Structures are given as C-alpha cells and as structure tokens.
C-alpha cells in the first residue's frame, strides 16, 4: 500500500498538462484543507432547490471518497436552518442561479463567479473560509449551469483517483490515507465543443447478448433500460460528455423503458437519436408505430403526425433533434431528394414551433447529419436552415468527408462531426476490438476544431467496450482541443490517461504500448488481414510485423504480471487483451501463409505450422473466455463478435481459419530429404517447381551491396531422416551457420542461414558469387534406388554482389537493390524562402510520431494554412538527398504513401508536388473530387490499405547524387512513406524498409 501512495503523489505533479489544474494532494501542505481520511469523510452540502442531477452526482462523490479512503461522505440538504454538528470537512456544490446556497455565497461576497457566470458548462472550485455559519472552511464547487456543477464534482473525484471507467472498465481507485484540497481557485471555462458524446451502435452480437444476461427484457426488445443507461450516463458525465445517441437496432429508447428519457434528463444528458432517426423517434418505431409506411411521398400526413409525437414526447427533456429523413432502417430512401428534404425540414421546424409553442425555433438544438447519400443531397444544393447544425460525417473510416468552408462558419447552427470507432459496412465491418489510430484521430479532430466544427462531436462506439481508449481520447479532444493541439500531445495524453487508471510508474511504458498498438492495429483492420497481406518472402515483412506484436504482448504481459491484483482486471480490459488478441490474429494469418508456402515447398515443418495455427485458434477462444469469465463473468458476451474468416463486408457467421496444408511425413520427397530456398524467393532446389526452370538446382538471392541488408537462405527437411549439410563459397561471402544437421521433425527441421559479405575483400564492381550446399547423407529414395542427388544436382545459390560506394561528402539515402525507401521525417532539409521553414501563411511542416503504418507522418500545419504552390519560392519544401548507382534510369517510379484523407474543402483538394533535381515539379491530387456521395473508386483500396498511394515517373539522368523535392500543397495531406523504384522494388504490404542513410 505504501508504495502505491508514493506513486500517486508523484503522479500529481504532472496533472496540469492535460486540462486539469491540480486541486487534490495526498499530503498535508501549506493551506491545504483536509477533505477525507480513514476516520473523516466530508459532508457534501447541496441546497434543496438544486438540480436533482447535481444531488445525484454529489452522492457519487460521497461514495468516491469511500472508494479512496474507505469512509463514504454524506450528502446533506442545505436549508436556512442548517447547522453543522461536527467538524467534518465540508464540500458545497451548487449551480449559480439555481442553488440558494450558492446565491447566498455570491451575495455575501464569499465567492466571485464573474469569470464563469453564464458560460456553458463552466465551473469554479475554491476553498472558502467561513462560508456559512458553523463551518470554518469548505470547498465550494460552483457550476455556471447544471453540468458545470456536475463536471466540477467529477473533476474532484477523478483527481482523487476515481477513474471515469471505475465501473465500465473496473479501474480500482488507488487507496489513500488522506485527501487534501489545495488552497487555490480553479476556473474551468466552457468546453471546446458544445455537444460531446457517443453513439451506442448496438450491432449484434456483443452488447445485446451482454444486456440480455444482465437486464430484464424491455417491452419490445432487449433490456436497454434506465438501469443500464444510468451506467452510461454516469460514464459520459465523468468523461465530461453530455450527449448520447442511444442503441437503435433492437430497441426503442423512449418506448422500451419509459423511465429512460426522464433518467437521462435528470442525470444531465442531452438525448439525441442517430443520423437516421429524425425527430426523437427510434428506427424501430418507424416500422412499429407508424400508420402506413415510412414514405414521405405517399404517406406524408402520417409521417408528419409520427414526427409531431416525437417532439411532444421529448419536449419535457433536454433534447437535440435529428432533422431530415432517410429510408427505413439506415438506408437511402429511393424517393427522397434534396427538394423533398427541404420541405421535410420545413415541416419539422414547424412542428417544433407548434409543440414548443415558440416562434424562434433556433432556441431548440437541431442537427442534420450529412451522412452517406444525405451529403449528396447537400452537394446538390439542398438548402439547410442556418439554425440547424450541419453534422458532417466521416467516410465511416475516420476520414472526415467535409468540414465547414470559410463561408459556412458563420451559420448560427454551427457545424459538427459524426465519427466512427466501429463500423458495419463496406468494404468490411470493423466491430470486434479497437483498430483506431490515435494519431489519425489527432489529425482529423484537430482539423475539425480548427475548421470551426465545434457544435457537436459524436463518436460511433459500437458496443462501447472495448473502445475505452478512443472514447477517452475523442472526448478529451472535444472537451479541450487546444490542449491536444500538438501531435506530440497524443503520447502525453496517453501517458496521463494510463497514470490516472494505473499509476504513474507504468504510465510511460504503457503509453508506448498503447501508441504502438494503435499503429499496428490500424495498419489494416483485423477483418481485412489474411495470409496474403504481408510478404513472407520479401523484406522479412511478415516476420517483422509478427515480431512487433510479440514484443507488444511481452511488454504488456510483463507490466500486467507486476501489477497489484486489484489493477489486473482493468489492465487486461484496457491494455493486455487487445495486444494479445491482435497478436493471435496476426500469428494465425502469418503462420497460415507460411504453412501454405511450406506445403508447396514440401517442408516437413508444414504440419507443425498447421498445428501452430490450430493452437492460435484455441488461444483466440481461450482469450475470449478469459474476457468473459473474469470478475465473475461481468463482461460475459462482450467479446462474442466473430473476427476470423471474413470473405466479404459482412461478419462471418462463425470464426474459421484460412485453409491449412499438410505434407506426407511418412515418405521422402521425390527431390530428396534436403530442400533449399532463399530470401525473396518462393522456389526451392533441388527439384521442380513453378518458380524456376525444370531440374534447375540454382536459386538467385537478391543483390547484395554495402548499403543493403544481409540475406538469408533456408535449409529444410523434406524427408524422414536427419540430413547433414555444409556450405561453401568464396572467401568474401560469409554464411552462418556454415554446417549443421536438419532433423526430420522437432525443432531443427528448418535452419535459416545468414549471408553477409566482407566488403573489404569483395571484388570491385558487380560480380556474381556462388554458394554451394552439400550433404554426405544419402538424401532420398527415388523409385527403386537410393541416390544422393542422382537426378538432381546439389543445390546452389547465386549471389549478385555489387560493391558500391558513395563519396564521403554525400549525406542522404543510398540506393540498394534498385530501391530507395524514405521515412519522410528523415528529410535532408526543410527549405523555405525565409529560411525559417515557414511558408505562405506561416505554413510549416510538422512530424506526427506514430502516424501511418511504419514510423510517422509529416504534414503541413496549421490546418488553417492557405494553399501552397510548388512554383512559388515562398512555399516550404522538404528535400531528400539520395544517391543512385543504377545507370540510365529514365523511368524511376516514385510512390508516395499518404495517410488516408478526403477532400474536406472541395475548392482545395489535397495535392502534393514532387520533382527530382531540377526537373519541373509534377503535381498530384491523390483523391479525386466527388459529389460527397458516392465515394470515389479508389476509396475501398485506400481505407483497406490505410494509405493512399500515387506514383509519378521520373528521369534520373546519370547515377550519383540527386535530390527529391516534395511540397505538400494543402494541410490535411500527411505523407508517411516515399519509395523510389529503380526496378528493384519487391512485393510487400508496407513497402520496402527504409534505405540506409549516410
């Protein structure tokens, strides 16, 4: 226990970086007021006329104190006859303009609320001496409105060590002996975004199955009742959110449990409905309670009445209306168009005026979600009343399709974003676990904020679990976007997030794990990974990727094993589970790919690899069970989602494995007991296969030079007996190991040899060396007789050796294997006319760590920067020096990998320009302009690959030193890799590893 307390004290010194001014300390310090200890707990005074939701949050706070010190606080009603009988610490919580207690403090000059008065959701917290008779001093939480007070209360809870996720992710509070409040005043201004929340998109099966085991069924559907929703409302408030789109697929929020809307309102949650459910009525109500069909053209009177009833029902509560109309059940309507939608919205606004009996409908928050085809109507010129918030949507894959243009930022209804952490649809569902890139979130969310989409931010979170990290990040950015303005803040945010859940000692290590996880998982959604995704023969790609996952699991397991047992369940839910789950998926696909190739190669190890995959399949199930069974089955069914065996967009009905192959281990291969393959090659020798001429005994390794990697050869058993081998070559070629014995089964069926070159002794220029593999073991039976390679010659490898060298004066990337591969953050220069790296409108290049698929990204900031031009010297450019050896390359292909992105300003489509040496720049627009909907043809490939690629062709002229000039011409385009192909680039998913920099 003592260790934990020390830990937590350390943690508090870093509080303020993310949005939270420190208020709580666990040690007596000058002026600090004791709030609670093992024998004392605060009285929380709430006046009788306070909001019920504030009183409820105060009750939470009383229990939060107990979670930390073991003694619960007490909520006491304040009225004029209040007199304290004990010396226990006092907390006063109340809302300006609502609480008579707070009014009294303001009137008597005990507190000054000028800084927060009238500010949406603002609050202030301070220690006040003799606030009321009989109380020496008290902590006063004064909210400018109901949620302001509630957030103030939860601010103290969180700083005390009670995580917003204490229930939804089982985060145990750090026990403390004493809790003090500092003698300081905290002024918390309004959040960055007005309405912040998530969409519980209960696509089957996980959340619904879980609900079914915990809550009694509703009248028409699963038990999405007020007991369930209370846990969600509390989570939202503790995360400083205020807005919810409820579950829609199997339930009807207002109908299944009539207590739902009143409960939301009491808590302080603004209810909405999804983009496809106008006028506060659920999708299922459209089919269940409508007279006639959900069709404007043919059933207008009944549709109107149905909508009017929605407004009547929602009128008593704080609501944000979804406007417009789509087809039944989240699809486009075949009959609606932009002009009928204009009519519908006018009718809807008329209904609001009528039901609320007001003339100015602007007083009622309304939004129109420009999702899928609705965006197309807008692009067709649909006129949207300016008091309706335009809720711009992403493309379901975290790329905002559109953001406010400069002539749209003045609209009184403002703009917002609808964003996805989870999705069901093309090109593939992703609704199993978290596959979100946090740095992608950073770029899109900061852009949305900078482009003035600040009225609504809503995130589709699927089943809620296990999206804790993206939910936390999204809502933090919505609450205080400027605190996360720098891409370097993502790591800091993660580190502080981890510290709040688990203590500061593991904050940095776990933040690194989570940031790496977010990159690895977002490289390609699990649902789209298959055995062909990563190359198993080129660049060690699949092996390297799988190794990254192995390292990730090892790092997370190590921390998990050292944690206090009270923290392990939440660490499993928030960190370890997803690392293990991702590793298993990758191990299945990479090992299935090896198994398939090895089968073709006749390797004895084929069958063991099939068993590895089967073992992974069992591990996948065991991991699901572990999630379901921990904490006495609290989260049973939350991991019911199938995730293996996708072959089209929709989920597979049952988890299944890719095809696995087996070889006949009782017999020796026709080509003998010893097989040889090598780097970059599917083929084997000796014997016949489709990859080389019949009876050839020679394979060729990729070329070797002083700037490239070592190469590998694999020797493997294809028989029933042990086989010895010996390797020989020229003196400047080193092969390790150079001899050994392959076994027919067990651990030594396959041996990888590393080939390297002693460059001081290698001949100058380009030469070809030969590696000979010999054995003295009779290697097989061929028809009737034993033969040592009777029909086949002993295997040989041919090694092209290029002794290249760059002048010592050169600094930059060096060609190897006719390839130059560049991680964009390693630029040779960042050039601008004024010499400070800034261009037109102060545009500058910024490295975004852990962005993209391999290392990082580089983008143009600020997001509000004007367009840049390759031909104007005032635009900054990135310069990459490179050195080539291949002569006469007139058509070098330069592929630029950019982060996925849509053209959020159609008048300024994303563009970049490139040139090599003094050639004229070539300008590329990677993503064609569309009409907002449908999406461009290249979109499927872009989102599946998590990258946008474009290739330009360049004449390099003479070999030697060159420069590649790159201009990013619009903010929002983020470059993540550059590959120059001089004829040697091999097939891979991530592209060649970065070239050597000298």
Ligand X SMILES: *[C@@H]1O[C@H](CO)[C@@H](O)[C@H](O)[C@H]1NC(C)=O
Nearest 5°: the CA angle 10, 11, 17 is 125
Residues of 954-981 as b/e, b for ≥16 C-beta within 10 angstroms?
A: bebeebebbebbbbbbbbbbbbbbbbbb
Residue number, 56 or 240, with CB nearest to ligand X: 56
Residue number, 69 or 263, with CB nearest to ligand X: 69
Residue number, 70 or 217, with CB nearest to ligand X: 70
Shortest distance (Å) from residue 40 CB to ligand X: 13
Shortest distance (Å) from residue 162 CB to ligand X: 12
CA 221 to chain centre: 31
Residue number, 36 or 585, with CB nearest to ligand X: 36
Residue number, 74 or 304, with CB nearest to ligand X: 74
Element (H, E) at 312: helix 296-314
Shortest distance (Å) from residue 632 CB to ligand X: 17
Neighbours of 996 (CB within 10 A): 19
Shortest distance (Å) from residue 91 CB to ligand X: 16
Residue number, 64 or 155, with CB nearest to ligand X: 64
Compute the distance between CA of residue 379 and CA of residue 338 in angstroms, rounded to an integer: 9
Output 4-9 pairs: Cβ under 8 A, ≥24 positions apart.
4/174, 4/175, 4/503, 4/564, 5/174, 5/175, 5/176, 5/177, 7/174, 7/503, 7/504, 7/505, 8/161, 8/174, 8/176, 8/503, 8/504
Residue of this chain nearest to ligand X (CB atom) = 72
DSSP lists the bridge partners of residue 37 as 178
Contacts of 924 (CB under 8 A, 6+ apart): 896, 911, 912, 913, 914, 950, 952
In Å, the largest CA–CA distance within the chain is: 109
Shortest distance (Å) from residue 66 CB to ligand X: 4
Q: Which residues of this chain interact with ligand X, rule CB under 6 A?
A: 63, 66, 70-72
Helix (H, G, I), strand (E, B) or coil at 911: coil
Residue number, 235 or 542, with CB nearest to ligand X: 235
Shortest distance (Å) from residue 69 CB to ligand X: 8
Compute the distance between CA of residue 341 and CA of residue 385 in angstroms, rounded to an integer: 12
Residue number, 70 or 709, with CB nearest to ligand X: 70
Q: List the end-to-end C-alpha distance of the chain, in Å, as a whole number.
A: 52
Shortest distance (Å) from residue 71 CB to ligand X: 6
| Exposed / middle / buried, residue 874 (Cβ in 10 Å: 0-12, 13-18, 19+) | middle
Are 157 and 7 spatial neighbours (Cβ–Cβ below 8 Å)?
A: no
Residue number, 41 or 685, with CB nearest to ligand X: 41
Compute the distance between CA of residue 414 and CA of residue 396 in angstroms, rounded to an integer: 22
Compute the distance between CA of residue 85 and CA of residue 135 in angstroms, rounded to an integer: 10
Residue number, 62 or 417, with CB nearest to ligand X: 62
Residue number, 86 or 554, with CB nearest to ligand X: 86
Residue number, 566 or 963, with CB nearest to ligand X: 566
Query: Which of 804, 827, 806, 807 has the alpha carbon at shortest distance from 817?
Result: 804
* Angle between helix 541-562 and helix 577-601 axes, rounded to 10 deg: 150
Residue number, 70 or 984, with CB nearest to ligand X: 70
Query: Which of 888, 894, 869 has the alpha carbon at shortest distance from 963?
Result: 894
Shortest distance (Å) from residue 70 CB to ligand X: 5
Shortest distance (Å) from residue 167 CB to ligand X: 13
Are 27 and 237 spatial neighbours (Cβ–Cβ below 8 Å)?
A: no
**Torsion region of 645: left, alpha or beta (phi above 0 gives left; psi -120 to 50 gives alpha):** left
Shortest distance (Å) from residue 483 CB to ligand X: 33
Q: Are strands 389-393 and 366-370 parallel, antiparallel or unpaired?
A: parallel
Residue number, 71 or 485, with CB nearest to ligand X: 71
Shortest distance (Å) from residue 56 CB to ligand X: 13
Shortest distance (Å) from residue 912 CB to ligand X: 59
Neighbours of 702 (CB within 10 A): 21
Compute the distance between CA of residue 313 and CA of residue 306 in angstroms, rounded to an integer: 11
Element (H, E) at 338: helix 338-356
What DSSP letter does each residue of 697-734 carry, written as one string? -EEEPPPB-TTS--EEEEEEE-SSS-EEEEEE--TTEE
Shortest distance (Å) from residue 196 CB to ligand X: 29
Residue number, 66 or 849, with CB nearest to ligand X: 66
Secondary structure letter of residue 148 according to DSSP: H
Residue number, 63 or 76, with CB nearest to ligand X: 63
Contacts of 2 (CB under 8 A, 6+ apart): none
Compute the distance between CA of residue 788 and CA of residue 672 in angstroms, rounded to an integer: 8
Compute the distance between CA of residue 93 and CA of residue 99 in angstroms, rounded to an integer: 9
Secondary structure letter of residue 661 according to DSSP: -
Residue number, 230 or 322, with CB nearest to ligand X: 230
Neighbours of 353 (CB within 10 A): 15
Shortest distance (Å) from residue 72 CB to ligand X: 4
Shortest distance (Å) from residue 62 CB to ligand X: 7
Shortest distance (Å) from residue 447 CB to ligand X: 44
Residue number, 66 or 800, with CB nearest to ligand X: 66
Shortest distance (Å) from residue 157 CB to ligand X: 14
DSSP lists the bridge partners of residue 734 as 756
Shortest distance (Å) from residue 73 CB to ligand X: 9
């Amino acid at each position: 226990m003592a260790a934990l307390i020390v830990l937590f004290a350390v943690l508090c010194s870093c509080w303020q970086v993310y949005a939270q001014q420190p208020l709580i300390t666990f040690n007596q310090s000058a002026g600090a007021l004791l709030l609670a200890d093992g024998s004392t707990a605060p009285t929380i005074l709430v006046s009788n006329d306070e909001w019920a939701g504030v009183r409820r949050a105060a009750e939470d706070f009383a229990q939060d104190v107990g979670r930390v010190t073991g003694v619960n606080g007490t909520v006491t009603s304040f009225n004029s006859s209040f007199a304290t009988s004990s010396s226990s610490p006092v907390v006063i919580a109340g809302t300006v303009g609502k609480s008579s207690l707070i009014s009294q403090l303001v009137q008597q000059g005990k507190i000054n609320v000028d800084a927060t008065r009238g500010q949406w959701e603002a609050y202030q917290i301070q220690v006040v001496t003799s606030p009321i008779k009989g109380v020496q001093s008290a902590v006063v939480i004064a909210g400018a409105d109901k949620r302001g007070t509630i957030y103030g209360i939860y601010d103290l809870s969180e700083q005390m060590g009670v995580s917003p996720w204490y229930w939804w992710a089982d985060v145990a509070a750090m026990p403390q002996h004493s809790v003090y409040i500092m003698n300081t005043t905290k002024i918390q201004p309004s959040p960055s975004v007005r309405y912040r929340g998530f969409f519980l998109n209960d696509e089957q099966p996980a959340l619904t199955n879980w609900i079914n085991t915990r809550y009694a069924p509703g009248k028409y559907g699963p038990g999405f009742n007020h007991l369930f929703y209370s846990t969600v409302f509390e989570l939202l408030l503790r995360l400083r959110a205020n807005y919810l789109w409820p579950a829609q697929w199997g339930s009807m929020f207002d109908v299944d449990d009539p207590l739902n809307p009143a409960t939301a309102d009491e808590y302080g949650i603004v209810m909405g409905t999804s983009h496809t459910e106008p006028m506060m009525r659920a999708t299922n109500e459209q089919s269940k309670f409508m007279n006639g069909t959900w069709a404007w053209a043919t059933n207008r009177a009944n549709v109107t009445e149905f909508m009017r009833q929605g407004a009547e029902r929602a009128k008593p509560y704080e609501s944000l209306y979804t406007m417009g109309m789509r087809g039944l059940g989240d699809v486009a309507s075949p009959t609606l168009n932009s002009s009928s939608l204009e009519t519908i919205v006018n009718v809807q606004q008329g209904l609001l005026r009528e039901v609320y009996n007001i003339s100015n409908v602007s007083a009622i928050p309304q939004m129109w979600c420009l999702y899928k085809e609705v965006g197309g109507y807008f692009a067709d010129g649909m006129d949207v009343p300016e008091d309706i918030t335009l809720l711009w949507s992403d493309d379901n894959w975290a790329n905002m399709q559109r953001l406010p243009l400069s002539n749209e930022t003045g609209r009184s209804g403002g703009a917002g974003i609808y964003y996805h952490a989870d999705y069901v649809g093309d090109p593939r569902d992703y609704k199993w676990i978290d596959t979100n890139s946090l740095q992608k979130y950073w770029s899109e969310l900061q852009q949305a904020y900078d482009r003035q989409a600040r009225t609504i931010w809503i995130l589709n979170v699927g089943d809620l679990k296990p999206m804790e990290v993206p939910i936390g990040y999204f809502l933090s950015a919505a609450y205080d976007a400027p605190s996360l303005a720098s891409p370097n803040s993502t790591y800091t945010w993660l580190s502080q997030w981890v510290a709040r859940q688990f203590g500061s000692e593991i904050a940095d290590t776990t933040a690194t794990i989570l940031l790496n996880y977010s990159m690895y998982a977002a490289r390609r959604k699990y649902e789209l990974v298959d055995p062909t995704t990563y190359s198993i023969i080129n660049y060690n790609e699949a092996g390297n990727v799988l190794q990254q996952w192995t390292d990730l699991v090892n790092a997370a397991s190590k921390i998990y094993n050292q944690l206090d047992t009270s923290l392990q369940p939440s660490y499993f839910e928030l960190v370890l589970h997803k690392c293990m789950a991702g590793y298993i998926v990758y191990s299945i696909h990479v090992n299935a790919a090896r198994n398939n190739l090895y089968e073709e190669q006749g390797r004895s190890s084929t069958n063991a690899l099939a068993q590895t995959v089967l073992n992974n399949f069992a591990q996948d199930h065991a991991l699901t069970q572990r999630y379901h069974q921990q904490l006495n089955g609290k989260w049973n069914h939350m991991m019911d989602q199938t995730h293996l065996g996708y072959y089209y967009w929709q989920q597979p009905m049952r988890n299944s494995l890719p095809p696995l192959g087996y070889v006949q281990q009782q017999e020796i291969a026709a080509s003998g007991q010893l097989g040889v393959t090598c780097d970059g090659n599917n083929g084997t020798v000796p014997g016949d296969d489709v990859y080389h001429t019949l009876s050839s005994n020679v394979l060729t390794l990729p070329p070797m030079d002083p700037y490239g990697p070592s190469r590998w050869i694999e020797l493997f058993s294809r028989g029933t007996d042990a086989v010895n081998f010996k390797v020989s070559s020229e003196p400047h070629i080193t092969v390790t190991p150079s001899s050994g014995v392959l076994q027919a089964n067990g651990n030594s069926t396959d041996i990888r040899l590393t080939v390297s070159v002693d460059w001081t002794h290698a001949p100058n220029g380009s030469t070809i060396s030969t590696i000979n593999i010999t054995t003295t073991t009779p290697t097989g039976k061929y028809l009737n007789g034993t033969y040592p390679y009777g029909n086949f010659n002993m295997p040989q490898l041919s090694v092209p050796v290029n002794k290249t060298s760059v002048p010592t004066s050169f600094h930059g990337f060096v060609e190897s294997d006719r390839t130059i591969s560049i991680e964009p953050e390693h630029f040779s220069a960042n050039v601008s006319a004024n010499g400070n790296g800034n261009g037109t409108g102060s545009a500058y290049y910024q490295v975004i760590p852990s962005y993209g698929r391999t290392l990082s990204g580089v983008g143009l900031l600020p997001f509000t920067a004007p367009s840049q031009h390759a031909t104007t010297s005032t635009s900054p450019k990135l310069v990459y020096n490179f050195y080539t050896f291949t002569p006469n390359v007139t058509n070098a292909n330069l592929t630029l990998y950019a982060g996925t992105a849509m053209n959020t300003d159609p008048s300024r489509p994303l563009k970049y320009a490139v040139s090599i040496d003094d050639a004229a720049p070539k300008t590329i627009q990677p993503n064609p302009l569309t009409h907002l909907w449908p999406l461009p043809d290249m979109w499927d490939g872009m989102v599946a690959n998590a990258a946008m690629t474009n290739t330009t062709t360049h004449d390099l002229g003479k070999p030697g030193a060159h420069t590649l000039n790159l201009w990013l011409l619009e903010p929002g385009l983020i470059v993540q890799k550059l590959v120059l192909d001089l004829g040697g680039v091999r097939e891979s998913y991530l592209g060649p590893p970065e070239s050597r920099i000298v």
